[in-house]
Amino acid sequence: MALLALEEAIARVLADAVPIMDEESVPLRDARLRHLARDLAATRTQPPFSASAMDGYAVRHADIADGTGELRVVGTSSAGHGFGGGVGAGQAVRIFTGAPLPEGADTVVIQENVERHADDRITFREMTERGRHIRAAGLDFREGDRLLGAGDILDAGRLMLAAAMNHAEVPVRRRPRVAILATGDELVLPGETPAVDQIIASNGFGVRAIVEEAGGVAIDLGVAPDDFASLDAAIDRGDAAGADVLVTLGGASVGDHDLVREALSRRGMALDFWKIAMRPGKPLMFGRLGRQRVLGLPGNPVSSLVCAHLFLRPLVIRLAGGIERDDRRTAVLGRAVGANDERQDYMRARLSLGDEGELVATPFERQDSSMMRVFAQADALVVRPPYAPAADAGEPCVVHCLREGPITRGA
């Protein structure tokens, strides 16, 4: 039987994945990259008073209209310390950037254009237009203005604005909760001492990073040994923690100890697919268990992360209400590659810039799906469609970029 095509598999995982609308309130300082659950209105006007935009002197323009006036300084207005009085005819107030404009003044003359004499008189070097260097009250926004909308993602500029609107807490959508369960008798956590036939459980750390970058929150279910009771207990913990998505790592294949699918089926999981036409990642599994989507990632570390990048990342972004960035680019091959079989291949590759500024993707020699070192060195995955013929260096290809940031010229 032909394996399920990759695009079809992605479409099934993303089918009816819509943003989670549950709402929670978080302190503004913890709200980075969260999505607003509701429109947000300003609780105050900004600036709340007419303010000076420069360091200088607040004056009545009528006094200096011809550029030759002579005024007496009667006080100071600085940011946080307004001048209590007003500016009358023949008077000026020393003023600083951000300070309230005193009553009566309608213009600020910058200090570079003023000569201040010992007896607190000031004279002027040139003309200043009426109303110069004043920020009117409400220039930025007014109380009641709806400045941020439901669904907006809180990035640097919006966080700053929400703070200025005087929101110490903001209503945000709760993040999709993704429970991550490593499986296998051979696994111990980093820092523990493995027996001679054990290795370190590493995949979960990569998958967690992908979940968090996509706007989800990871629930660590630890490592379950290869037995039904342990798997059951871990699945219970994920359920109790309110997981929207359960990700299992390993135990997805056909071996005697690959129990994950069976354990989930016994609990009533409706299997959508198992095994697809991709490399690495053939034994990928997807199903639904109650309200949870279940993604069974293959145990080989590179398979886990490639599948997480292609399937889990867009799923979490959609549940979080985000917009997926298309990470595909066109590049040229940096070396020849062989003909492909029925599985769409994702070759780990380095990116560089060629002589004409073109993007060059050079697949690594070693493509074994156990090799974390190669994956960590890779900038991109070169996509080799099913049955693609052999291709030479210089031929075009499509790549998925794995990391952002500059690419240096030369390989």
CB 173 within 8 A of CB 321: yes
Q: Does 282 bind ligand MOO (CB under 6 A)?
A: yes
- Token couple for 392: 């030479």
**Residue 2: CB minimum distance to ligand LQZAQKY5, A:** 15
Residue 298 binds ligand MOO, judged by CB under 6 A = yes
**Contact between 281 and ligand MOO (CB under 6 A)?**
yes
Cβ-based nearer residue to ligand LQZAQKY5, 69 or 250 = 250
First to last CA, the chain: 41
Q: Which is nearer to ligand MOO, 154 or 402 (CB)?
A: 402
CB of 128 or CB of 369, closer to ligand MOO: 369
Q: Binding segment for ligand MOO among 91-99, 220-228, 280-288, 389-397 (CB under 6 A)?
A: 280-288
Q: Which stretch binds ligand MOO (CB under 6 A): 83-91, 297-305, 329-337, 392-400?
A: 297-305
Torsion of CA 88, 91, 92, 93, to 10 degrees: -60
- Using the minimum distance from each CB to ligand LQZAQKY5, give the nearer residue, 187 or 210: 187
Residues in contact with 153: Cβ distance below 8 Å, sequence separation at least 6, in sequence order: 33, 34, 35, 36, 322
We find the least distance from the C-beta atom of residue 367 to ligand MOO, in angstroms, to be 9
Q: Applying CB under 6 A, which residues contact ligand LQZAQKY5?
A: 182, 184, 186-187, 199, 201-204, 249-255, 258, 280, 282-283, 298-301, 303, 369
Q: Which is nearer to ligand LQZAQKY5, 178 or 249 (CB)?
A: 249
Please, are residues 382 and 354 in contact by the beta-carbon 8 Å criterion?
no
Give ∠ CA 132-134-139 in degrees, rounded to 5.
130
Candidate segments 92-100, 112-120, 229-237, 279-287, binder of ligand MOO by CB under 6 A: 279-287
The C-alpha atoms of residue 355 and residue 357 are separated, in whole angstroms, by 6
Taking the C-alpha atoms of residue 308 and residue 306, their distance in angstroms, rounded to an integer, is: 5
3-state secondary structure of 170: strand
Q: Considering only CA atoms, which of 145, 148, 171 is closest in space to residue 158? A: 148
- Output the smallest distance, CB 165 to ligand MOO, in A: 49
Closer by beta carbon to ligand MOO, 277 or else 317:
277
- Both structure tokens of 208: 């967690």
- Cα gap 153→385, rounded to integer Å: 35
Q: Does 279 bind ligand MOO (CB under 6 A)?
A: yes
CA-to-CA distance for 73 and 94, rounded, in angstroms?
Answer: 7
Q: Using CB distances below 5 to 8 A depending on partner kind, what does residue 97 bind out of ligand LQZAQKY5, ligand MOO, none?
A: none
Of residues 360-379, which lie at the interface with ligand MOO (CB under 6 A)?
369
Q: Collapse the DSSP code of 369 into the 3-class scheme (helix H, G, I; strand E, B; otherwise coil) and give the result.
A: coil
Query: Binding residues for ligand MOO, per CB under 6 A?
Result: 279-282, 298, 300, 303, 369
